[in-house]
Structure formats: structure tokens, C-alpha cells
Structure 1
Amino acid sequence: MRGDQGIEVAYATRNVMTVIQTLQNLFSSYQVRSSTQSALSSGPERQVQDNSLTDYRRARFELRQLYEKLETLADLMDVKTRFKLDLPDARSTSGLGLDLTHTAAALNSTEEINATPTSFSVFGPEWNDGSSAAITIGGEYDGSHGTGTLTFEVRRDGTHGEDNLRIRLEDPQGNRISNINIRRNHEEDRQYSLNNGLFLTLGPGSLVDRDTTTIEVFENVGAVVDPNKPLGGIRNNNPNLQYGLPAIADGSFQINGESISVNTSDSISNIIDRINQSNAGVTASFNETTEQLEFLQNTLGAAPTIDLQNDTSNFLQAMKLDGATVVAGIDPETVKTFAEVDAFSGVQSGEIIINDRRIAIDAENDSVTTMIDKINASPAGVIVSFDAQSQEFLIEAEDATTVLEIDGNGTGFFAALNMVEGRVDAEALSNGITRQRSYDIANAFTDLFENVNFLFNDFSFKDRADHTARFRAPFAAAFSALYGDGESGSVFGLRYDGSADASSRGRLIDLDRQTLTTNLQTNGDQVKRFLAGSDGGSGLIQDLLEATRIALSNVSHALGQSGSFIDTYA
């Protein structure tokens, strides 16, 4: 065995000796605090805020999954564990196979904001020898002069509006295209054709004889809008909107009834920010690849939409949104009514019975989601959940001493959920998976760590308040004892990062798969010693089981529920 591996084993063995005592002390502190709080409170324990209640239920579900995965890992490593889950529950015998696609309504520009297949540059070329009457180029290049440089040369100088002026225009080969005669009596904003779809206007000032300037034209390079230039910008501040559409004007338009103001001094990016900061309920963005403006409903599902109305600014037309069609969002089949889902075609309206409590079901209006809410709100004494990953439905008694009994009562509800009806008594449950190859164990660790990291990710819960410490603290204590006082560590490829940033992002612990599988194959006894314990030590698996037991007990206590474990060593 390599020296560094020996250090790992010694380090791990030294630390695991203290973990159970640390966790027991932590659990005792929670029990004392909880008992004191109960004595001081005249109301029931289960008086927690709505968000906290939702978070505790979610944490409880994750902790139960975590415990079962630890038992699976223990079976793979042939590790005997002390505690078993002891809550009567009923679950789907197989996944429901539902379509859980959940999207939001979307609305995009019908094409590129500027779909012109040709282009030119720049809008405002500068004279090379001091002429002050600025040229501005506009129009849509027709490609008739190919790709290259167009040259403008002053052939008759003077002051615009006072003298007759002439500018010679040459193509990329130096051939004259035309002589542009600018008479002193012409209107100052007159457009002079370049005989290729483009035109120029001449600003106030003078032209110097033989002064020159140029622009580039592109036959096969499309025009590109600039979302950061003002909508009413001129010359080289022109945002390059599609030529020929009505000009942007100061005004407004509505999204879902919310008024969005538009000014010619605004850019597309300014309008996007204004939309996203409004109460329109949509997120706008500019897609640089497709050169389109895109709207996405902030609320998932088929009902929320994107409604554009009452444009007085011409903005929607300029963005190619005036003829756009909304792509409706999609509801997952857990949200759709039973009558809408093929898998639930056998469900009938009526009443289901759970623990002698009747709960109404309406096949035309109820869904998996509404029935979960109905059952959880009922006095049946159960907690219902749906695991989107396994697509299994779980009904769990709130009390370890409760008998769970479910009856579809002719509705076909439980049959559609692949659940066996009848009575479920409290009993110890465990998985009996045989020893597998090293990568099976690595897979089990990967699956396990996903649940641990979920519990530490702030975004997993509606309320990120201090109540999360009830289920996080036992794990933090366990990892700290296992990996020492430092913020991070690694043993046999099982990597821990206890920094605040890592834990809040749900990156508390992860796996170096190659290191773990290599050690399992070459140093299996040493790895098992770390996982299962030796010389009175508890090992990683037992420590995490103990942490899970404490966390689950804390959460159950907060929810006003009884214990959830039996001691198999007692």
C-alpha cells in the first residue's frame, strides 16, 4: 500500500472514533432545547410557518431517501447498521411513466430583427481632407456592385445650401457609378440615390475639392442589428434596424397589461431591462445567434401566456413581434387532470379512503398534484409525496405506531398509481442488494451525495432561514469530525468541502470516481474499514446513518410527529 494511502486510513480511523459521541451530544442539545420550548408553549408543537412546514416536509422526504440509499450502500459493502426505518408506508410498485415535461410560454421575433441579406459599413463615413458637410448613408444595399469599397470624391466644392456641389461615386473597380449633383436650392435632408439601393444625405457645412471618403458594401454578408445603440440613433449611432419599417417613435406598448414605455433615446437593451424590471411576468432577452428578441413567461405551465398589445411606438413591429405567435407552455401530467392523462383513464370520480377518512376525487378537475394537497390537508394522518426521478407515489404514516390502510373505493385511484390497496403495519424495512463491483458502489455514493448536497443547497427550500440547521447541523458535525477541523478533505476519493460557499451551493461533498474505484479494487479492506469502522470506530456509513436519524428526528419533531426508527441492536 502506498504511503499516502496509509496516512489516509490512519487519519480516517482516528477521526471516526469521535463522530458518534459528537452526534449524540448534538442530538441531546436539540432534545433539551425542544423539551424546554414545549414546556413553555401552550399550543401544539406543529405551529410552524407555511414555508417552514413545506421545507420540513421536503427535507423529511429527502432524508428518508437518503437513509434508504445509505442502507443500499451498506448492503453493497456488507456493513451491518444499527437503525432501520420504521414507518408504515405504501408506495408505487413501479414508476408511473408520466410525461413530466414542464415548460413556460415563449414568444420570439418571427425572423432576424434585421433580415437584410446584404450590408454596408459605415452609416457615417468621415472625410479625409477636412470637409465639414457630413455624409450619412441609408437604404438597403441590393448587391449590384458586389463586395468591396465605394469611393466618394468631391468634384465641385462649396457650402451646402449656398453653392452647387458635386460628388463623384466610384465602384470597387474604380469605375464611375454616378455624379451626384447637389443644388443650392435642394432641401437639406434630400436623399440622393447611389444607384444600388443605398442613398446619401448631406449635412450642413462645406466640401473641400478632391476630398474623399469611403464605405464598404457586402453582397453576401447580412445586416446585423446593434441592441446597444439608441433606437432613434443617426449616422454611426444607428442601431441598424430593418430598412423600410416605420421609424421608432416615443410611445409605449403593453405586455400582459403592463405598460412599457419606449423612447427614441432607448436601446433594445434598455427596453429589455425595463421589461424584466416590470410586473409583466416575462423575461426578455436578445439572442445574439438568431438576432431575435425572445420572451419567456416567468410562470411555468400552459395557462400563463404572453400578450402584446397597444403599441404606439412601432417597437413591436421593428422587433418583428407584431405577427409572432405564442408557443404555449406545457403542464406535466402530474398537474393535468386525470381525464386528460392516458395513464389515469381508469380513474373515476368518487371518494378514496385512507385510515377510515374519506377524501373526494373529481376525475375531471383533480390531478396528482391536487390529490397530494387534499390528502396532506386531510385528517388521515399521512404524508403523501411524488418522487419525480423514480416516478413513484409514496403514502407514509405520520406516526410509527399508526396502521396505514388505503382503499380506492371503486375510483381506480390507487390502481392507477400502481399501489397495492389494503393494510400496511409498521415494520422494519431494508434493501437486500448483494455485493456488486466497485463501480456499483461508486454509483451508490454518487446517488447518495446528490441527496446530501440537496439538503445543503439554499435554493432547495422556499425559506432559507435558520430552521434548516435542524437537518443540516448533524451532517456538518459528522463531516467535521470525519475530516478534521479544516474546511476540506479527501479520503479514498470521497471529497468534502465545508466552506460556506460550497455548502450553500449544494457542493458539500462529491466523489473522485477513479480514486474510489481504484482503492476499492486494490485496497478494499482499508476502504471498508473507513466505511464500516474498526477498533470501536463507527465508520462513515454508520456516522451518516446516525446523522440522518438525528436530522429526521429533528424534522419529525418540528412537524409534531413521533419517532421513525427502531434500534436493531437493542
Structure 2
Amino acid sequence: MQVSSDFSSSAFTPVTFANASIRKPAFSQTPAPSPVGRETDDELRSLRQQLIALKKALGTLQNPFPLSHRARIGGEQTQAATTSSSTDLGLGSTPATATIRQSTEEVNTTPTSFSPFGPAFTGSSTSSPTLGGVYDGVNGTDTLTFQVTNGGIVGVSPVLSLEVRNSQAELLETISLTLYQPDDPFTLENGLVLSLGAGSLTQNDTFTIAVSNSVGSEVNPDKPYNGTRNDNPNLEEGRAVSAGSFQVNGTTIDVFANDTLHTVLTRINQSAAGVTATFDGDHETVVLTHNTIGASPTIELENDTSGFLAATKLSGSSSVQGQDEIPDADKPLETLSQFSSVQSGSLLLNGVAISIDVLSDSLHDVLARITASVAGVTATLNAAGQRITLTSQDTIQSLEVNSNGTGFFAAAGITEDTYDPTVGTTARIRSRKGLSPFQAKEIADTLQEIANSFNTIFQFQKDKPVLGPSFAAIQFNLKAAVSDTFHSEGTRFKSQAGINFNFGKSAKHVFELSLSGFSRELLVTKLERNPSLANDLLFGSSAPNDKGLVENLLAVATQTTNDLNAKLGLTGVFVDVLV
């Protein structure tokens, strides 16, 4: 049966029920045109929340109720049926980690190198040569010799000249310095920059430097930022650090021109920034580690006036957030070696199916799902996280444990069996038809939750003469779902199980858990005696395509929720994973 949703601009997707081939009730037709009421987004959001609550309650009833249970007859001093893991599970945890922030790359990424920065002339020359720049590798890996070919006084003599030769004495370059002033830079053909200090150059005096096109340059963390010649800290070309400051987590860190990398890091460590700063020499990076472990702490860097953050490649870096301790029991089952053999599916407790998804469910998830189910079993993991205990919530009910092909209980060290309560010598255990009182009350409570959500939906806009299009559509579709389930039409629907509906205008509640005016306790009694009456109504009979009330209501609630999400967006709504 297709239920129409042709209500003005509501644009709800039609829902098709399974029993279309069985009958053609009046609800299969589009309702006659009527005045269109108004509805606000806030009203629609409230409607969506009730639909989500309805879906959640319906989702707990996924399988027909057991038709019998094992119970204690007579006796005294009964203790609930229970079983536990036979051995420790060996669970642990992933330790908490700290937030870190480090250089985006090596402090000096130059792929070539040369040394020394401040060589010395042989002989009597008093001028001090200084080398800088970036070696382009054109001369390979070699030793270069600089020889004075025209001497004089730096800054006085009109022309000074030197020759550059490789280790094979081959001439690489002739340097001619006309009217040269002390410390003026001169760029060589291989990218290096030569400067000569005040003093004399003696004919034929030499100095040498080593160059490499295969060994990269490295920063020296113990040389001052304002160091020259052989005190040069060897920062990457174009990077420099001067007097100034920067902030770490709001704490100001001063930087002085004569600081070294290590002295600045020490200053960070001694501050109130709450981080530990280190230099990783193997990777040539600065690493900041928060002193407080866990997922919450952050490392903020800002307001740099010294150039330190740029020179150390911390500018533009981002934090790798720490993580809190993760117990093994909170990790997906497939990640735990103890549960690697478990398969997704459904285990059975007292005949009630409990779903397991090893890709997403943790051990705690499964145990919580068992406890929340209508199986009447409490599942716990002891404080040390090493053994699972299953205990019947009803002291007179047996505990039936079945992995149902998932392998869960074998992995948990629990033998699949039927466990009886511990009873006195005059007591005996027998199989009894129907549900136990505890099971029946648990199911009745769940049905009451469904009824409450269902009735709330029919209370919306009750004081308005004309329903808004969305409210009219959902009420129409829910009524159609009930009509389809009961295989009848009209405004009142009664069942032998005590699950009844009254869509009449004078009805106080649409969904009632009673029969012929009796109280809800009648439903509990009927579930105890004959759960098959409720099974046929809620889950469908053995007839083809007879899906039952739960599936029909879920179809309407799910489709309408999706349509409301499309209309309103998902802002401020918890994601509903029930399908």
C-alpha cells in the first residue's frame, strides 16, 4: 500500500507497505484537498526529535519474543544465573600522548655545503677572508684553493686579484677586485660569496675551503645568531634571527642577538609556556612537546618579532594533537588480538538477538547493548578489565548463552550453555511457556516508550483548526501504517495482545496499551502467557509480506525523518544511526 504525502510544499517521500497485495484500503488514495495550515521550523524540529525518539524505541524491538523460558519452581535462597570468563582477557590500553609541534622541515635544507666560513691565509697576509652564500655544486665535491696573484692593502690598493683552482690545479676562476673596500661581498661563479677584511694580501699566499655537492648544510645550534666567520650558526640562506621576542601559549619568550638556538630553547623550557623544547639533531628540527599529556592541550605560536619562528621552520607548522588513554575495551573488536576471530552478526542471550559489528563496536558497546536489551541479562567487565560476567536480571530465570556463529563468547572465555539459578535442595528448574514476569515488564516498558512518542506526534498542533502540511502527512502516514498492520480500516484498532489504537477525535491517547478499558498490566499478563499474540502483531505472521507494526512504523518514521533533515538541514541534530 502506498501512502500519499501530497501536502502542499512538504514534499515527503511516499512510503510503500508490504500488504498492498492483500487489500486496498481507503488510505491508499490521496486525501481530499483541504485548507493548508501553517507550521514553523521550530515545530518541525520538535516533530523530528519525536520521530527520532520513536525510531530509537522501535529499534529495540528487532526480533520476535521467545515463546518460553526456564524458571525455578519451589525452593529457597535462589541466586541469579551467572557465568564469567574462565581466564583473564589480557586487555590493556593505549597510553595517553602529548601534543607536539615541530619544524615543517630541516632548519637548513640547503643540499650542498662548504667549510670553513672563515679560512686563514698561509704566509704573511693579515686580511681575514670570509665565505658565505650557497654553493651551487658546479665544482663537485672537492677542495678549492684561493691564491693571491696581485697583492696589496685591502681598501688602499687599486687592484687586488686572486685565482681559484681545484684539487687538480685547474683554474676555475680569476677574481679581480678594483677599488675594493674591506668586507665588500664578491659573488663567485659557483654561488659562494667572498669578502676580505682590512689588512694586507701577500703575493702567492693561499687559503683553502672544502665544498660538497652531496652533503647538505646543517645548522649549528651552539653558535650565536650574530656570529661571523667560523661562529656563523649556518642558518638557511635568507633566514636570520635578531633581537626581539615571540609567544608560546601566550607566554613571551625574549630573543637576544647573541643567543644560540639552544639558549632560546632553554628559555622556552624555563618559562610558563608549559612545553618542552628540544633540537632533534638527527632530523635537524625543533620539537615542542606539551608538558600535559592528553587530547586537550594545545601549542600556540604567535607574535614573532625576532625571526626565530621563521628561521627554525616553526612558522606555518601545526600541532599534532595528543590523545587520551584509550582502554582496549573502548577500541573496535577487530583491532584486539583477543577478539580477532569474532565475526559480525548477532549473538543470542535467552533467545534475544544482540547485534555485533566488529568494525565499529567496542567490547564496552557490546556489553552495554546486552544490558539494555530485553534479554534480561546484565553484562559487566570487572574493574581490572580482564573478565566478563553475565548475570540474569531475574533470579528465577535461566541464562541461555549462544554465540550464534559470531564466536564472541569463545573469545570472551565463556562457554556456550544454559546456566540455571542457584537454588535450594527442594527447588527445580523447568521450562515454562511464555515470558518471565521480568521479560514481560521490560517489553511493556519499551512499548510504553513507543506509545508515548507516537502519542506526542498526534498532540502537535492539536489546538489548531487546520494541521500544517508536514503534520498532516506524518499523522496520515502513521495511521496508514497501523491500518495496514491490522488489515482493516476505520478509526479504532484493537488486538488480543492489548496493543490498541484510537484515531477518533475524542480519544485522549491514540496508542493505548490496554484491552477493553483494562490497565496496562493486562499486556504484561498476556506477554507472560502467550507472547505469540504480540509477535504476530509487532513482527508479522508467517504469511507472505506480512511485516508487522514495528517495521511499518519504522518505515514511516525513517522516511519522514530523512525528509525533515532535507528540509531543515542537520544543524543541531544528533546523527541518527538507526536504520
Normalising by the smaller structure, the TM-score range is 0.3 to 0.5
TM-score by length of 2: 0.43
Q: Which structure shows the bigger proportion of residues in helix conformation?
A: 1
Using structure 1 for the length normalisation, give the TM-score. Answer: 0.44
Q: Radius of gyration: which is bigger? A: 2
